[in-house]
Structure formats: structure tokens, C-alpha cells
Amino acid sequence: MCAGIDIALERGEAGAVYNLGGPEELPNIQVVKKILELTGRDESLIAYVADRLGHDRRYSLASERAKALGWEPRVIFAEGLGRTVDWYRENEWWWGPIRSGEYREYYERQYGRALG
């Protein structure tokens, strides 16, 4: 992604949109199941909810404009997802305060009533 952002900044047109995505297209439920598998969690953690209008079942980006600038994805989705899970495992210092409530306390101190 960083290489794509760099190419868009260097070669792209100011104000234009450059999507950065790979060729793989997966339903959201498959992504969730893969995350559970990578984290050693059970699929019973999935909470199915009633669909709503406009609910995304999948995400797909048209990356042709970025590719025209010379960008190509370098990592397949499964590998990137695995790396992401590994990063979170190795960097609890980054997300731990959010989960512990420490971040919420900070946010309330900083923004008070704006949380409304």
C-alpha cells in the first residue's frame, strides 16, 4: 500500500482517486472465518445479524488507475492478512489501551460532551 501511495503522490493527478487493491475478491464472511482461523478462535463467535439495505457483502476495488501509474500489488490477500494478524499479536502495546478502556477514558477527558 505504501508503494501505491508513493506512486500516486509522485505520478498521479492532484485530486484524483487511486484505489489500491488486489485481484482477489472474497465475501466478508470468508474474511471473518479466515481471521478466526488465524487467531485460533471458533466460528461460534460470529454473530449473524439481519441484513439491511446497502449492507456490503464484499469489497472490491478497481485499481486500474493506480496500475496505469505503474503500481502492482506485491502481497496476496491471505499472506497480507496473516502478516496483519501477526503484527497485532506482536504489538499489543498499540491496541491494548484501546481494549482496556484506557483510550475511552482519554477520549472522554479530551472531548467530553462531544461523545454525545
Q: Looking at the structure, do residues 82 and 105 belong to the same domain, yes or no? A: yes
Q: What is the pTM of this model?
A: 0.75
> Sign (positive/negative) of CA torsion 43, 47, 50, 54?
negative
Q: Looking at the structure, do residues 19 and 65 belong to the same domain, yes or no? A: yes
Domain ranges, residue 53: 26-58
- The pLDDT tens digits along the chain (116 residues) read 899 999 999 999 999 999 999 988 888 889 999 999 999 999 999 998 887 777 777 677 899 999 999 999 999 999 999 999 999 999 999 888 888 887 778 878 888 766 55
Q: Looking at the structure, do residues 65 and 84 belong to the same domain, yes or no? A: no
